[in-house]
Amino acid sequence: MSEPAEALRDDLRRVAWCDYATIDAAAGLLGAREIIVLAGRLGDLATHLAARSGDPSGPPGALPGTERIDLTANWDSVTVAGWFVRNTLRRWVWIDILFTAELVTYELTKAFVTAVQDHEPNAPTRMTVRLRAISANRLVIEVHDSPANTAALAQADGLISECAHEASVRSGQCRAGGRTVVWCELARPEYNQWI
């Protein structure tokens, strides 16, 4: 290990073990803007370190695969979908894309639930949230309708919000055979962006 790397390692350990009183005292020596910038960079650093910890149970370079959850198309499910994404990506050790994936999932499921609820269904209907790792640094988030709410979603426009669209590399809404799927493809940050 090089001397600069060893010094940085020691600095990281020192910062990680500081108590909050010491951090508050150091922050008192900074301006408000610098505190915000440093907080953002430290958050990025924490995400980067967590993402580099790897998954010792799987072979190097193995892709996690696909996970899905079937939910009732109601407002509580928007939160549950977020928990599903957070827990799945933590298990996959894809922490570096966690915030964006949760945001996109929230936007997509909220749009689905809004479309269904605007149709005032007589009984609860279902939706499916699916995560697919399509490469070592690409994730697709999909929300699928169910047979009971196909009519409501076939008439819905704008199921992909501007926020979800901007956070995505690509996004789309597919209708085939009366069924609707919305999806967003997310890219993990490149390693050189972090350093």
Instruction: Report helix angle 75-92 to 98-118, nearest 10.
Output: 160
Please indicate, yes or no, whether residues 168 and 92 belong to a single structural domain of this protein: yes
Asked whether the predicted pLDDT for residue 100 surpasses 70, the reply is yes
Answer whether 86's CB lies under 8 Å from 102's CB: yes
Please indicate, yes or no, whether residues 89 and 154 belong to a single structural domain of this protein: yes
Q: In what order do the strands lie in the sheet with 66-72?
A: 66-72, 126-135, 138-144, 179-187, 170-176
Mean pLDDT of the chain: 82
Domain count, the chain: 2
- CATH of residue 126's domain is 3.30.565.10
- pLDDT value of position 44: 62
The residue-averaged pLDDT of 26-49 equals: 76
Please indicate, yes or no, whether residues 71 and 100 belong to a single structural domain of this protein: yes
Instruction: Return d(Cα 115, Cα 113) in angstroms, integer.
Output: 5
pTM above 0.85, yes or no: no
Residue 135 lies in a domain: yes
The residue-averaged pLDDT of 5-13 equals: 84
- pLDDT value of position 52: 53
Please indicate, yes or no, whether residues 136 and 82 belong to a single structural domain of this protein: yes
Residue 45 lies in a domain: yes
User: In the numeric block, which tokens belong to residue 191?
Assistant: 């390693």
- pLDDT value of position 47: 55
- pLDDT value of position 184: 95
Residue 178 vs residue 126, higher pLDDT = 126
